[in-house]
């Protein structure tokens, strides 16, 4: 399969005293994450819960595709949902910015750069049209399509197996997840064998950097696990902390901003160049300072120090070990660079980065570094 590479985007985030620059999918920086890939797991018994960073409808498709392989590719061993999720993370960030309907259709369709040899998406070899523009809207050249970015010609080779009655669509997550599973399984690969696993991913995109990136995300998803609920009832103090953080929704991010009294101007300057002295708001640790101060808990100023308060929850325990009211941390080889307030169901309230504002979001599926429980 001829694949394309999108330029990586860099998210500049962090708190005062920690300059965190994270390239999504970057390899390395995992020393604090005690993780092992879930190789060889039984696909039928994988729980379908809320997986941090993966839309539920996408997760359903990955598990169904893996469960179908004993029938569709009986000699294939070791395929797991984490590998399919990792590919979708690298290729489309789990169809970010698109709607996934109950029937699996993704809208608007995901179409990569037109592969006309101009260098778009890193491709310099023209790929002539094979689908009459049906999937990519171009009848001269092809483009990769769908959340797992198949070329139309490659997807067509699996269409009959994916939907024997016809109608397979690369922008349907069920169809494309099934096609990706078949593609990775090949003629009966043993994906518990690292060399065969690497070869399967390399076939998807002939780049060892790509292989490392996918394996990194596979490890991340294996370590995060599932969170199946909202966390149940919470104490009055925990609810006050959550309410305090939520009350600041929409307040701008300010580098070094925020204190126990509320939002404030910050300091100069973030790695991305924001002068916090010009913005009234919160950075990530400033939001924690304010929220916990409402119940008489006085935290250190920076996220790295806040991680040492209370009872530490290791990253290896997964997000499912967190309870509402816990602080949730993110870090890399440089240390802890971000903190949010866990509110249950795999979600947190946080001040993400310069140019953004306090918001509720899914716990990030990268650089997860565990949590800290200050209140019970």
Is 80 exceeded by the pLDDT of residue 29? no
Six token digits for residue 21: 């620059």
pLDDT of residue 344: 84
Last residue of a domain, one of 187, 209, 227: 227
pLDDT digits (tens, 9 = 90+) for 345-357: 788 999 999 999 9
Q: What is the pLDDT of residue 223?
A: 67
Q: Phi, psi at residue 213, to the nearest 5°?
A: -65, -45
More confident call, 335 vs 344 = 335
Residues 247 and 169 in one domain: no
What tens digit of pLDDT does each residue of 257-296 get?
A: 999 999 999 999 988 889 999 999 999 999 999 999 999 9
Total domains in the chain come to 2
Of 227, 249, 278, the residue at which a domain comes to its end is 227
Task: Kindly state the DSSP code that residue 205 receives in the 8-state scheme.
Answer: S
pLDDT at 7 over 60: no
CATH code, domain carrying 257: 3.90.1720.10
Residue 26 falls inside a structural domain: no
* Domain assignment present for 115: yes
Specify whether 76 is located in the same domain as 119: yes
- Residue 12 is assigned to a structural domain of this protein: no
Instruction: Give yes or no for residue 211 having a pLDDT over 90.
Output: yes
Q: Angle at the Cα of 240 (from 236 to 245), degrees rounded to 5?
A: 150
Higher pLDDT, 7 or 129: 129
* pLDDT tens-place string over residues 307-329: 999 999 999 888 888 999 999 99
pLDDT of residue 52: 65
pLDDT for 42 beyond 80: no
Q: Are residues 245 and 223 in the same domain?
A: no
Contact 73, 188 (CB under 8 A): yes
- Assign 3-state DSSP to the chain and report helix, strand, coil percentages, each to 5: 30, 20, 50
Q: What does the pLDDT average to over 50-62? A: 81
- On whether both 120 and 261 belong to a single domain, the answer is no
Residues 50 and 198 in one domain: yes
Kindly state whether residues 271 and 216 are assigned to the same domain.
Answer: no
| Weakest mean pLDDT among 51-55, 118-122, 229-233, 347-351 | 229-233
Euclidean distance between CA atoms 155 and 146, whole angstroms: 10
Q: 3-class SS at 21?
A: strand
CA Rg value for the chain: 22
Which of 181, 209, 227 lies at the terminal end of a domain, its last residue? Answer: 227
Question: Cβ neighbours of residue 190 under 8 Å, at least 6 residues apart?
Answer: 76, 77, 78, 196
In a domain, 71, yes or no: yes
Q: Is residue 17 part of a domain?
A: no
- What are the distances in angstroms from CA 344 to CA 71, 226, 312, 356? 37, 12, 17, 22
Mean pLDDT value across residues 19-27: 29
147: left (phi over 0), alpha (psi -120 to 50) or beta: alpha
* Burial annotation 186-204 (CB, 10 A radius, 16+ → b, else e): eeebbbeeeebbbbbbeeb
- How many residues are given for the chain? 376
- Looking at residue 91, its pLDDT comes to 94
Which has more confidence, 273 or 222?
A: 273
- Phi/psi for 71 (5° steps) reads -90, -45
User: Same structural domain for residues 272 and 329?
Assistant: yes
pLDDT digits (tens, 9 = 90+) for 140-185: 998 999 999 999 999 999 999 999 989 999 999 999 999 999 999 9
Q: Do 185 and 316 fall into the same domain? A: no
Assigned domain for 6 exists: no
Count of C-beta atoms within a 10 Å radius of residue 153? 15
Question: pTM, whole model, 2 decimals?
Answer: 0.58
**C-alpha 326: how far from chain center:** 20
Which residue do the tokens 């169901």 mark?
Answer: 345
* Residue 57 within a domain: yes
Domain co-membership, 211 together with 241 = no
Whether pLDDT at 5 is above 70: no
Q: Per the structure block, which two tokens stand in for 164?
A: 């024997």
Range of the domain at 276: 236-373
Q: What is the CATH number of the domain that holds 40?
A: 1.10.530.10
Of 97, 24, 89, 99, residue with least CA distance to 57:
99
245/211 same-domain check: no
Same domain, 176 and 46: yes
**Statement to judge: residues 44 and 176 lie in one domain:** yes
In a domain, 14, yes or no: no
Q: How high is the pLDDT of residue 235?
A: 85
| Summary mean pLDDT of the chain | 83
d(CA 214, CA 212): 6
User: Which pLDDT belongs to residue 10?
Assistant: 31
3-state secondary structure at position 181 = helix
């Amino acid at each position: 399969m001829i694949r394309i590479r999108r330029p990586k985007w860099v998210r500049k985030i962090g708190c005062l005293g920690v300059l965190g620059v994270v390239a999504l999918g970057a390899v390395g920086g995992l020393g604090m994450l005690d993780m092992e890939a879930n190789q060889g797991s039984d696909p039928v018994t994988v729980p379908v819960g809320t997986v941090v960073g993966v839309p539920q409808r996408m997760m359903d498709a990955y598990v169904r595709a893996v469960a179908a392989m004993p029938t569709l590719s009986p000699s294939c061993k070791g395929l797991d949902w984490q590998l399919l999720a990792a590919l979708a993370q690298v290729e489309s960030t789990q169809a970010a910015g698109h709607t996934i309907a109950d029937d699996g259709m993704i809208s608007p369709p995901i179409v990569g750069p037109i592969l006309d040899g101009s260098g778009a998406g890193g491709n310099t070899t023209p790929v002539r049209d094979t689908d009459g523009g049906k999937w990519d809207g171009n009848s001269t050249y092809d483009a990769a399509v769908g959340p797992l970015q198949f070329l139309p010609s490659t997807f067509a080779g699996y269409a009959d197996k994916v939907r024997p009655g016809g109608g397979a669509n690369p922008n349907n997550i069920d169809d494309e997840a099934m096609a990706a599973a078949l593609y990775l399984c090949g003629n009966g690969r043993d994906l518990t064998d690292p060399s065969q696993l690497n070869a399967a991913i390399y076939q998807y995109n002939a780049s060892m950097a790509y292989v490392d990136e996918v394996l990194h995300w596979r490890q991340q998803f294996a370590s995060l696990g599932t969170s199946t609920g909202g966390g149940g009832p919470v104490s009055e103090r925990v609810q006050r902390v959550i309410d305090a953080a939520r009350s600041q929704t929409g307040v701008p991010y300010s580098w070094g901003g925020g204190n126990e009294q509320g939002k404030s101007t910050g300091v100069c300057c973030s790695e991305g160049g924001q002068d916090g002295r010009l913005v009234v708001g919160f950075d990530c640790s400033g939001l924690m300072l304010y929220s916990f101060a409402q119940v008489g808990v006085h935290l250190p100023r920076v996220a790295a120090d806040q991680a040492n308060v209370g009872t530490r929850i290791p990253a290896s325990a997964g997000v499912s070990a967190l309870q509402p009211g816990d602080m949730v941390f993110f870090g890399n080889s440089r240390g802890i660079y971000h903190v949010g307030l866990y509110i249950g169901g795999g979600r947190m309230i946080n001040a993400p980065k310069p140019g953004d504002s306090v918001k509720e979001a899914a716990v990030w599926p990268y650089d997860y570094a565990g949590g800290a429980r200050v209140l019970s």
